[in-house]
Amino acid sequence: MELNTALQKLKEYERRGFALYHASGLMYYDGDFAAYQQLCSEADSVWHEAKVKDDFSMFEPYLQKMFDSTKRMALYMEPDKRPYDTMLDNFERGLTASACDAFFDTLKKRLVPLMHKVVEHGDRVNDAPLRQSFPIAKQKELSSYLMDVMGIDRDHCILGETEHPFTTDFSKYDVRITTHYYENNFAASLYSVIHEGGHALYELHTGDELACSNLGRGASMAMHESQSRFYENIIGRSREFCGLIFPFVKKEFSPLLDGVSDEEFYRMINKSSPSLIRLEADELTYCLHIMIRYQLERAMIDGSITAHDLPHEWNRLYKEYLGVDVPSDKLGVLQDSHWANGNIGYFPSYALGSAYGAQMLHKMQEEIGDIWPDVAKGDLSKVTDWLRSHIHRYASFKKPGELFESVCGKFDAKYYTDYLTEKYTKLYGL
């Protein structure tokens, strides 16, 4: 990588760091900074208690203050910019609300009708066999097997357990992933390992010349999610990958799945059904959960709604988009920690990452041909090598939008909606 280009990137980091430092200084001088830090500490604690007690009224004033304070911080950082655009930029450099509007409008027009068609034929997929009691010890063996299939370097990446799965890294030479095991839902840990494994491969494969520098980490949240969700969904939930791992799964958990075929296993893993909880959502409905959160947090920043309105608006949108009634705030507006932690503008990166992955698949197959015969044989080397050479090695050397366009051309959400439409139309015989 050219030295001049690297220096320009470092200067950009310095500019962003100075803007944050300047904003923090102004907030401190005005008395806002200390108040914001205290709010972040208190809000998270109150959110936990409110969720346990299913009492949104406890959290409401803290949530309103969090949005108000985050908006003020954005104006300190970039006074001439719309606050929500600044918030989005903090997680995905260059992302704007207008771009998000166009993206989510496309998802809404194509995926909501598709989801309703799937609901009408929900009886075509029976996933009851996946809800049996699967020994945790055997699930751990499956996790180890999956890491080997993915080609994860076990000398530089280890797997642990936690309440909520995550990935962390200290450098490209020390990456940690975690999962959580549920005895009555082995698929949850199966796909959390693959998901976190996708994050790990990104960090493990960053360019050696960028290691231990400010540029040596993934380009953005959306770019990171593009990798994790690519492996989890596009690869991991494909017919070929399900067929590959099912003999191991069937043997490990015998006799629980003895009467299940490869095709039935694939259909069970990909069953789509509207749900209340984002983290439990299937591949088709997941982005609708994100779209709801995007609309609500943008409305909060615009001032068209207040925290007091959030439960009602949350429930209304869940009914409109997913067709489900929200029985409680614990299962509704209180389910995520992001807003309590001040991570406003974070949610869109999840959906954008999923869409990035679908377009990467299209470009990948244009360049290296049909990947699925190799996937069916357990050889992911061509997939991983392509992602490493086109995405992983650049880390933060390029801005996320710049990096994506250099590989895939102009972003177009149709690749994602086409992918989901084709997959679920075939799966449900629509």
Task: Please confirm, yes or no, whether 196 is among the known catalytic residues.
Answer: yes
DSSP-based three-state secondary structure for 352: helix
68: its two tokens = 């108000």
Do 333 and 314 form a contact (C-beta atoms < 8 A)? Answer: yes
Cis peptide before 348 (omega within 30 of 0): no
Quickly count helices (H) and strands (E) in the chain: 17, 3
Contacts for 8-14: CB closer than 8 Å, 24+ residues apart: 9/215, 9/396, 9/397, 9/398, 10/214, 10/215, 13/214, 13/215
From the list 89, 90, 134, the residue with the least C-alpha distance to 260 is 134
179: its two tokens = 């999962």
**Rounded-to-integer distance, Cα 365 and Cα 240, Å:** 15
Burial of 43: CB neighbours in 10 Å, binned 0-12, 13-18, 19+: buried
Which residues fall within 8 angstroms of residue 408, CB to CB, at 6 or more apart?
A: 356, 359, 360, 362, 363
Which residues fall within 8 angstroms of residue 160, CB to CB, at 6 or more apart?
A: 176, 177, 178, 179
DSSP-based three-state secondary structure for 259: coil
Locus of tokens 């003895």: 258
Among the listed residues 60, 92, 196, 297, the single catalytic one is 196
**Rounded-to-integer distance, Cα 424 and Cα 110, Å:** 12
Do 78 and 384 form a contact (C-beta atoms < 8 A)? Answer: no
DSSP-based three-state secondary structure for 323: coil
Sign of the torsion formed by the C-alpha atoms of 310, 331, 229 and 343:
positive
CA 332 and chain centroid, separation: 19
**Rounded-to-integer distance, Cα 125 and Cα 271, Å:** 6
Looking at residue 178, its amino acid is T
**Rounded-to-integer distance, Cα 430 and Cα 145, Å:** 35
Which residue numbers are catalytic? 196
